[in-house]
Each structure stands twice: as C-alpha cells, then as structure tokens.
Amino acid sequence: MMRSRAINKYVLSCIVLFSAVFCLNNVSYANVSAGDFFTSAIQSDGSLWAWGINPYGQLGDNSTAGQTMPEHIGASSWSQVSAGGNQTLG
C-alpha cells in the first residue's frame, strides 16, 4: 500500500506512473498529492488535473475510467488538493 504524500511548489517535468514516464513539458504545479495508484495536481493557474486508476471515481471526472495522462477536472480555481487511498479532497 502506498502512502499519500503532498509535494508543494515544485516543477514536475516527468512523472512515473505504472512503469511509464510521462513528460509534461515542464508544467508548473502549485500542489501535487498522490493517492493509491492515482495523482491529483493543481497547476500554477489554479486548474485541477488528475490521472491514474479510477475504480471509485477518485479522479473527480464523473467516471470510473482510468486516465494515463493528466485530465483537467472541473472549472473551478483550486488552491489545495489532498489525495488519500481511494479519495480526493479539494
């Protein structure tokens, strides 16, 4: 079981997910939080993005389909996100 961990104010250029590397063109994230097999992140413009497995709808995209690349979630401006085992709070 993977523990959740928040990483604040870092620029992530590549993310390893399921033994694959996704380069995100040096997108700047203000807040990143990892749950069990999924990640949620807020870009510096306040937009929320999520990717990974999604059997419980933890990505927040109104589905249970997994996402291999970051998917924009909602239309709100976010300041914090926290991913747990199978849930995300913002």
Cα distance between residue 4 and residue 20, in whole Å: 20
Cα distance between residue 41 and residue 59, in whole Å: 10
Residues 66 and 53: beta-carbon distance below 8 Å: yes
Q: How far is CA 62 from CA 59, 65, 68, in A?
A: 8, 9, 16
Banded pLDDT at 25 (limits 50, 70, 90)? low
pLDDT digits (tens, 9 = 90+) for 39-85: 998 888 899 999 999 999 999 999 999 998 889 998 888 988 888 88
Instruction: Indicate yes or no: pTM above 0.85.
Output: no
